[in-house]
């Protein structure tokens, strides 16, 4: 497939990691330094790069949908329990009958609502919030909004699933030994794929047969069945069934839950998570650890097959929200369930901690399930969530991890990692064991897999195919295991599946992949036909010579999985997959803390007593859930206080691979410390936001005035001893011109409170330069990332003899311009085809290189204006409420400049009624383009995201007759990548570029009429009534890509984006018949302004009507004629004014006067020349209007021809 791109001749082409991109973005000097004098505005070139795979358009989300209908009022817990219970100070009051009555009422409402919409009720929530989840036709659900009992309707977005060393690193082991805290008496609810309660780590029999017996049961086996330990696993529920999968893109999509009473795990994720949180631990011989946790040593823990969970004596409730694979849309129901696991109306069995190692990417802060999380916190239950596994991408961390009151956990690398073991059988000099990770797609536990099949002689892949990405000669590897090089210089030529398949096709019976890494970033899939292992760095280096010699023999075994331990050599570095969190746009900053999550060994489902190794924030979160259980057991803290205590004492810095201390936006306070959390009796949290704990100054727009903001931290002493702390600020990410300071010390009385002030100062906004977090990557996938400049760190409180405390501090300052293109575009007269617009105001020209802020503007032809919607279903959807849209074409400017017309670009511009924190992911701007006037879109241009890349992509797809799409063009938003700042974060304007040729249009054509319409989309939108529909959309808008009503030119003919600097001049060109068009100017770097709809369009969008004077009819005409052999000039004058006129006529042959000519009156005067011949000339008529005010004057001329009279 050929991608139509901006031609490389326009700039210098550089190659980075095999990706071609235009690098010529340096602006001429006059664009860089101006003094307010007028000069043509410099243009910004569109940057090219090789197309990337993106997620499909959200436009595909239609038809049948799942939605949550929330009824008005509180749930059963809120209606029956006093505040002291909600705050954790008292046990729940047993009001079972009243609870049943409330539930009955809510369930009746649910049935009524589902029936009214002819929809299927998926589940009902009665404890937290009253409501029902329904599935049915989107249009049929809409009418429910008219019911008096309905508070809101929101679409359900499916969520997906995201110990030894961790126990030691985080001092959970020390907490058991020194504090005798093991979580006894506390219940952790695990919302996941279920729990294999038959496993030895949960006190089960520890046999495969026991698992199979439990599988055959439709209910949880009885306490005396011998299949479970009722002191560990106290109950649960399967809300969905084995075949459930809420992912509509999956071939196994089956969105209708089939609940049952047995939450036995069949996916494995939930058992691994539960083992990390609260497993007893499994001894090396496979038996359950039944010893005294308070006497364990690190050596003994390391000697176990599976280490204990961080709260080994806490109880577990398993709430299964996933089928055996896929995603889930019933998390809201599960959250409601944790208040009353056995459903008897008595809340005394509620869990105190919920672990959710699940989530959705890019979810907005007001995801409806976040409201349930926050309600649970209010009711006394802390939700510990995974931060996500989408890497170093701004705001990619989603719900429920971005709920304000949740404790969101990032993943770090511990001091040691759990690996799979292999026996080295030969040669003798390397006999023993090796460590690595087994391929995941091969079933090592299948009874049909013999020891012989898991044993192999290893040979090296040929040098010319050392990566195994090409086919091997047929039969060349018959009966052998092949050693394949996995990577080189961090590059992976192909995936593991391709390599395993190639090896198998050549007769190989196994695969060995090497690695230069001690910690694996990700697992290997391989295939289902042959076994394989990827060795860690130490084993690779030790065994490679034997493989070269052809003498290496290895043996794998299912019982060896997750039984090897190795040093990570990377303790307290970030796991590369751990998601960057929200950046405070809407008051929420995440993640909160970090914990070990790379190569964690825990329970292997269905194995009886086996272990498995997994990596992810899914593995980090349950470790912290266990720490929360320790805190609940040791204190009378409410969930807000438990969260704060864990955050305050997470004082272990985490580092990037390059050694930079990571900022709060990536790891929160730091890596957790269980013992410090338990020993600490002082809490510190944001005074104005205790649920968040962190201090958030938010996104700050700076004009030309200095700024000083002060926030306070409440320091609460829960001990009988007064404390004095030395206070300091530890900076993580910085920005020129910004400083953060604190009170130098604070004295906190016993059982009292004090405050610490945190002050952010920006003395000179002109000093701000765009600086990247030192722990962030500047390039991703070989492309310059779009990054956010922020200022963050931690306030630290230190005192002798007590744990040090930290509170994260975050802000995102940015300078803004205040530029304007004026109020209109004035053409000089009816014949004028061009008019200049001079940009005026306070511009941005500060910083250098990729740290530079240069204000930019996009001029477009206004296509449509859209009033502010009266209501949106979620406040975050306001950012998709259209305000104005327009389009521009560079084709006329290229043609006028004699440049290559094939470089022509279209730019579609959009402004909305609120800022988006980021564009893409959970929102989309979509432009349909109809190129053949049949009213059906032929192309779609939409904002999108690619995995592991912080760039808003604009992708263009050709729509095929069968409805499928083919990518034909792709650029960054506003046409550039991250090394040119176009203010893509926290803004409400953007342009979407597409090449004219990519739309199948011929740039040489004089006219290229198209029509386009703009739609904004979100998977969360239900058009305020339910069902997935656009947030906003326009009608079809006509536009001519070759001869638009208006086109714009500056110093650079191929540009659609220009430097928005004081004195910059843009020429607005119009078609000869165009008199009533409007221009839309999008000032990308202006401040937000007032977007309430009460005072114009805010600060960034300007609409300028063009003004073309009406054609002037000359009121004077003249002709030379002959009269009696003499020539004379007849002059006819008309009064075009509204007052009487006196007119003086002047010719080379004489003058005349016309007096008191009334409005509209016409007279003819004759000027006698007294000559036979008169040469051609002109008459000048000086008009003077008088009467009724100040006299006005005007001059008109009229030509006359030559005449020759004869006698």
pLDDT digits (tens, 9 = 90+) for 448-496: 999 999 999 999 999 999 999 999 999 999 999 999 999 988 788 888 9
Asked if the peptide bond before residue 687 counts as cis, ω within 30 degrees of 0, the response is no
pLDDT at 279 (0 to 100): 97
**Max CA distance (Å), the chain:** 141
| Cis amide linkage into residue 427, ω under 30° from 0 | yes
Tokens of 956: 């263009």
pLDDT at 1127 over 80: yes
**DSSP 8-state secondary structure symbol assigned to residue 479:** T
Nearest to 1131 by CA among 1148, 1146, 1109: 1146
> What token pair was written down for 1082?
């999008």
Write the Ramachandran bin of 732: left for phi over 0, alpha for psi from -120 to 50, otherwise beta: alpha
Distance in angstroms (rounded) separating the CA atoms of residues 1145 and 1116: 10
The span from the CA of 435 to the CA of 601, in Å, is 13
Q: Give CB contacts under 8 A, 24+ apart, made by 1161-1167.
A: 1161/1134, 1161/1135, 1162/1132, 1162/1133, 1162/1134, 1162/1135, 1163/1132, 1163/1133, 1164/1130, 1164/1131, 1164/1132, 1164/1133, 1165/1130, 1165/1131, 1165/1133, 1166/1128, 1166/1129, 1166/1130, 1166/1131, 1167/1128, 1167/1129, 1167/1131
CATH topology assigned to domain 416-567: Glucose Oxidase; domain 1 (3.50.30)
Res 57 pLDDT > 60:
no
**Do 841 and 819 contact (CB within 8 A), yes or no?**
yes
Q: How far apart are CA 1026 and CA 16, in angstroms?
A: 46
Whole-angstrom Cα distance, residue 558 to residue 611?
A: 9
Q: What is the pLDDT of residue 14?
A: 22
Q: How far, in Å, are 581, 733, 849 from residue 771 at the CA level?
A: 18, 8, 11
pLDDT (tens digit, 9 = 90+) per residue, 1048-1063?
999 888 889 999 999 9
pLDDT of the residue at 157: 62
Residue 24 has pLDDT above 70, yes or no: no
Measured between alpha carbons, how far is 586 from 699 in angstroms, rounded to an integer? 9
Note the pLDDT of residue 21.
21
Q: Averaged over 1040-1045, what is the pLDDT?
A: 97
Residue 397: band (very low, low, confident or very high) from pLDDT cuts 50, 70, 90: confident
Can you read off the two tokens belonging to residue 84? 């002291």
For the entire predicted model, the pTM comes to 0.82
The answer on pLDDT for 145 being more than 90 is no
Query: Given this model, what pLDDT does residue 353 score?
Result: 96
Beta strand pairing call for 682-686 and 707-717: antiparallel
- What helix, strand, coil percent values describe the chain, rounded to 5? 15, 35, 50
CATH of 1116-1204, one of 3.40.50, 1.20.1080, 2.60.40, 2.40.50: 2.60.40
Beta strand 805-815 with 695-702 is: parallel
- Residues taking part in catalysis: 192, 269, 618
Which band of pLDDT confidence, cut at 50, 70 and 90, is reported for residue 44? confident
Check residue 156 and give its pLDDT: 67
The tokens 């001990």 sit on which residue?
Answer: 719
Smallest Cα–Cα separation from 760: which of 784, 782, 742? 742
Confidence of residue 564 (pLDDT cuts 50, 70, 90): confident
What does DSSP assign to residue 691?
A: T
Tokens at 468, concatenated: 């195994």
> Of 310, 381, 407, which Cα lies nearest the Cα of 648?
407
pLDDT-derived band of residue 138, with 50, 70 and 90 as boundaries?
low
Q: How confident is the model at residue 36 (pLDDT cuts 50, 70, 90)?
A: low
* Extents of the domains making up the chain: 8-57+818-1107, 160-414+573-810, 416-567, 1116-1204
**Of 160-174, 554-568, 1183-1197, the least confident:** 160-174
The per-residue pLDDT for 55 is 54
Query: Under a CB-based contact definition with an 8 Å cutoff, are residues 357 and 544 in contact?
Result: no
Tokens representing 1151 are 């003058």
Pairing relationship of beta strands 840-842 and 818-820 according to DSSP bridges: antiparallel
**Which tens digits make up the pLDDT trace of 691-738?**
999 999 999 999 999 999 999 999 999 999 999 999 999 999 999 999
Residue 226 confidence (pLDDT): 95
- Which spans in 806-932 are helix H? 891-896
pLDDT > 60? residue 299: yes
Range from 406-410, 1110-1114, 1117-1121 carrying the lowest mean pLDDT: 1110-1114
Distance CA 556, CA 435 (A): 11
In sequence order, the 6+-apart residues with CB closer than 8 A to the CB of 796 are: 651, 727, 728, 729, 730, 804, 805, 806
pLDDT at residue 990 greater than cutoff 60: yes
Confirm if 1029 and 1019 have CB atoms less than 8 A apart.
no
Q: Taking Cα atoms as reference points, which of 1108, 1103, 1150, 1152 lies closest to residue 1132? A: 1152
Q: What is the CATH number of domain 160-414+573-810?
A: 3.40.50.200
Whether the pLDDT of residue 9 is over 50: the answer is no
Q: Please, what sign has the CA dihedral across residues 73, 77, 80, 81? A: negative
Distances (CA, A) of 849 to 831, 845, 854: 44, 11, 10
- Cβ(78)–Cβ(379) below 8 Å: yes
* Phi-psi region at 1051: left, alpha or beta (left = phi > 0; alpha = psi -120 to 50): alpha
Q: Give the C-alpha separation, 622 to 103, whole Å.
A: 31
Residue of 630 and 571 predicted with greater confidence: 630
Burial 265-288 (b: 16+ CB within 10 A, else e): bbbbbbbbbbbbbbbbbbbeebeb
* Residue 434 near residue 422 (C-beta atoms within 8 A): yes
Cβ pair 1084, 821 in contact under 8 A:
no
Cα–Cα dist 306/304, whole Å: 5
Confidence of residue 666 (pLDDT cuts 50, 70, 90): very high
Which two three-digit tokens encode residue 887?
């389009």
Share of the chain above pLDDT 70, in %: 93
Query: Using CA atoms, how far apart are residues 314 and 291, in angstroms rounded to an integer?
Result: 15
The per-residue pLDDT for 27 is 33
961 CB neighbour count, 10 Å cutoff: 5
Q: Which of 623, 612, 605 is nearest to 202 (CA)?
A: 605
DSSP string computed for 495-508: -HHHHHHHHHHTT-
Q: How many beta carbons lie within 10 A of that of residue 1040, not counting itself?
A: 20
pLDDT at 89 over 60: yes
**Residue showing tokens 């008199």:** 1075
Average per-residue pLDDT in the chain? Answer: 88
Predicted confidence (pLDDT) at residue 62 exceeds the cutoff of 50: no
Q: Categorize the per-residue pLDDT at 1039 as very low, low, confident or very high, splitting at 50, 70 and 90.
A: very high
Give me the pLDDT at residue 39, please. 77
CB neighbours of residue 357 within 10 Å = 33
Interatomic CA distance for residues 665 and 408, integer angstroms: 11
For the beta carbon of residue 94, count every other beta carbon within 10 angstroms: 14
Local confidence band at 1026 (pLDDT 50, 70, 90 cut-offs): low
pLDDT tens-digit readout, 223-266: 999 999 999 999 999 888 888 888 777 778 888 888 899 999 99
d(CA 615, CA 626): 18
Q: How many CB atoms lie within 10 A of CB 1166?
A: 12
H/E element holding 727? strand 723-733
Classify strands 39-40 and 43-44 as parallel, antiparallel or unpaired: unpaired
**Mean pLDDT throughout 391-415?**
89
pLDDT at 505: 97
Between CA 741 and CA 761 the distance in angstroms is: 8
Please state, in angstroms and rounded to a whole number, the distance separating the CA atoms of residues 1132 and 1150: 15
pLDDT, position 615: 84
CA dist 583 and 397 (Å) reads: 10
Dihedral sign for Cα 1053, 1056, 1058, 1063, please. Answer: positive
């Amino acid at each position: 497939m050929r991608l139509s791109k901006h031609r490389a001749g326009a700039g210098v082409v550089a190659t980075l990691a095999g990706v071609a991109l235009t690098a010529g973005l340096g602006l001429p000097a006059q664009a860089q330094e101006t003094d307010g004098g007028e000069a043509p505005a410099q243009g910004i070139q569109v940057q090219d790069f090789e197309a990337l795979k993106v997620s499909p358009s959200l436009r595909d989300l239609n038809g049948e949908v799942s939605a949550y209908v929330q009824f008005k009022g509180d749930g059963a817990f809120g209606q029956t329990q006093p505040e002291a219970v909600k705050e954790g100070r008292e046990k729940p009051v047993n009001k079972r009958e009243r609870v049943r009555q409330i539930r009955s009422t809510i369930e009746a409402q649910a049935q009524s609502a589902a029936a009214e919409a002819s929809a299927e009720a998926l589940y009902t929530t009665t404890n937290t919030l009253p409501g029902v989840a329904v599935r049915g036709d989107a249009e049929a659900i809409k009418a429910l909004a008219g019911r008096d009992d309905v508070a809101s309707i929101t679409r359900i977005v499916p969520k997906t699933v995201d110990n030894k060393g961790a126990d030691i690193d985080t001092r959970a082991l020390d907490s058991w030994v020194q504090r005798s805290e093991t979580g006894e008496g506390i219940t952790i609810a695990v919302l996941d794929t279920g729990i294999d309660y038959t496993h030895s780590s949960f006190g089960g029999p520890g046999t495969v047969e026991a698992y199979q017996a439990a599988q055959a049961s439709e209910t949880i086996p009885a306490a005396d069945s011998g299949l479970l330990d009722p002191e560990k696993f106290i109950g649960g529920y399967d809300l969905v069934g084995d075949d459930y999968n809420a992912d509509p893109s999956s071939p196994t999509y089956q969105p209708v839950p089939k609940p049952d009473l047995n939450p036995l795990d069949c996916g494995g994720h939930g058992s691994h998570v539960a083992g990390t949180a609260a497993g007893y631990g499994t001894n090396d011989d496979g038996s359950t650890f039944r010893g005294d946790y308070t006497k364990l040593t690190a050596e003994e823990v390391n000697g176990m097959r599976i280490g204990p969970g961080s709260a080994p004596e806490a109880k577990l409730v398993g709430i299964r929200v996933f089928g055996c694979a896929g995603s889930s849309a019933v998390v809201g129901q599960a959250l409601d369930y944790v208040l009353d696991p056995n459903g008897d109306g008595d809340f005394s069995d509620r869990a105190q901690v919920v672990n959710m190692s699940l989530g959705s990417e890019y979810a907005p802060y007001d995801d409806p399930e976040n409201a349930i999380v926050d309600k649970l916190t209010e009711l006394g239950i802390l939700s510990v969530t995974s931060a996500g596994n989408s890497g170093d991408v701004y705001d990619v961390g989603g719900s429920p991890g971005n709920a304000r009151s949740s404790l969101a956990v990032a993943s770090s690398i511990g001091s040691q990692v759990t690996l799979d073991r292999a026996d080295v059988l030969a040669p003798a000099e390397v006999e023993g064991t090796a460590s690595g990770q087994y391929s995941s797609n091969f079933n090592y536990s299948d009874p049909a897999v013999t020891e012989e099949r898991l044993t192999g002689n290893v040979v090296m892949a040929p040098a010319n195919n050392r990566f195994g990405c090409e086919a091997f000669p047929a039969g060349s590897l018959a009966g052998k295991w092949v050693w394949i090089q996995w990577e080189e210089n961090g590059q992976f030529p192909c995936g593991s599946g391709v390599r395993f398949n190639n090896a198998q096709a050549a007769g190989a019976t196994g695969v060995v992949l090497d690695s230069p890494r001690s910690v694996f970033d990700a697992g290997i899939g391989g295939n289902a036909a042959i076994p394989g292992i990827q060795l860690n760095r130490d084993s690779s280096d030790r065994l490679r010579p034997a493989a070269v010699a052809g003498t290496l023999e290895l043996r794998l075994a299912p019982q060896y999985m997750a039984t090897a331990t190795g040093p990570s050599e990377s303790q307290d570095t970030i796991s590369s997959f751990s998601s960057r969190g929200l950046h405070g746009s809407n008051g929420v900053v995440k993640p909160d803390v970090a914990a070990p999550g790379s190569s964690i060994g825990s329970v292997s489902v269905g194995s009886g007593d086996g272990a498995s190794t997994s990596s992810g924030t899914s593995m980090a979160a349950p470790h912290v859930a266990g720490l929360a259980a320790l805190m609940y057991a040791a204190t009378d803290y409410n969930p807000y206080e438990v969260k704060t205590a864990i955050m305050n004492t997470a004082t272990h810095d985490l580092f990037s691979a390059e050694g930079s201390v990571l900022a709060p936006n990536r790891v929160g306070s730091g890596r957790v410390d269980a013992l410090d959390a338990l020993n600490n009796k002082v809490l510190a949290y944001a005074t104005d936001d205790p649920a968040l704990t962190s201090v958030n100054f938010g996104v700050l727009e700076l004009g030309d005035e200095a700024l000083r903001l002060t926030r306070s931290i409440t320091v609460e002493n829960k001990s009988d001893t007064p404390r004095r702390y030395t206070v300091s600020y530890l900076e993580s990410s910085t920005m020129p011109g910004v400083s953060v300071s604190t009170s130098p010390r604070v004295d906190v009385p016993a059982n009292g409170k004090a405050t610490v002030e945190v002050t952010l100062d920006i003395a000179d906004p002109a000093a701000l330069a765009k600086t990247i977090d030192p722990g962030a990557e500047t390039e991703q996938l070989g492309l310059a990332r779009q990054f956010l400049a922020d200022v963050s760190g931690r306030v630290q409180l230190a005192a002798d003899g007590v744990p040090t405390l930290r509170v994260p501090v975050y802000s995102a300052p940015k300078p803004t311009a205040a530029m304007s293109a004026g109020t209109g575009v004035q053409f000089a007269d009816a014949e004028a085809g061009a008019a200049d617009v001079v940009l005026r105001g306070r511009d941005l020209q500060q910083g250098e290189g990729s740290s530079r802020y240069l204000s930019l503007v996009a001029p477009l032809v206004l296509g449509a204006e859209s009033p502010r919607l009266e209501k949106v279903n979620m406040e975050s959807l306001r950012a998709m409420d259209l305000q104005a849209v327009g389009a521009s074409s560079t084709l006329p400017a290229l043609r006028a400049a004699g440049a290559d017309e094939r470089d022509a670009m279209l730019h579609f511009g959009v402004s909305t009624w609120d800022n988006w924190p980021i564009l893409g992911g959970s929102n989309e701007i979509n432009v349909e383009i109809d190129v053949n006037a049949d009213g059906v879109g032929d192309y779609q241009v939409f904002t999108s995201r690619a995995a592991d890349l912080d760039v808003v992509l604009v992708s263009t797809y050709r729509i095929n007759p069968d409805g499928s799409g083919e990518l034909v063009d792709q650029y960054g938003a506003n046409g550039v990548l991250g090394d040119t700042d176009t203010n893509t974060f926290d803004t409400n304007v953007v342009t979407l570029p597409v090449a004219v040729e990519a739309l199948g249009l011929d740039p040489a054509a004089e006219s290229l009429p198209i029509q386009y319409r703009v739609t904004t989309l979100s998977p969360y939108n239900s058009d305020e009534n339910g069902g997935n529909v656009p947030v906003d959309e326009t009608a079809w808008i006509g536009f001519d890509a070759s001869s638009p009503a208006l086109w714009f030119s500056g110093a650079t003919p191929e540009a659609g984006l220009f430097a928005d600097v004081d004195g910059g001049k843009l020429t607005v060109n119009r078609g000869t018949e165009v008199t009533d068009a409007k221009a839309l100017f999008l000032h990308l770097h202006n401040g937000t302004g007032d977007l309430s709809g009460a005072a114009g369009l805010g600060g960034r969008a300007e609409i300028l009507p063009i003004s073309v004077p009406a054609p002037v009819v000359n009121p004077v005409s003249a002709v030379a004629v002959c009269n009696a052999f003499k020539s004379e000039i007849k002059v006819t004058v008309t009064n075009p004014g509204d007052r009487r006129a006196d007119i003086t006529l002047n010719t080379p042959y004489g003058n005349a006067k016309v007096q008191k000519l009334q409005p509209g009156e016409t007279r003819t005067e004759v000027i006698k020349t007294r000559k036979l011949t008169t040469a051609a000339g002109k008459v000048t008529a000086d008009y003077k209007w008088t009467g009724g005010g100040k006299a006005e004057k005007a001059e008109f001329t009229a030509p006359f021809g030559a005449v020759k009279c004869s006698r």
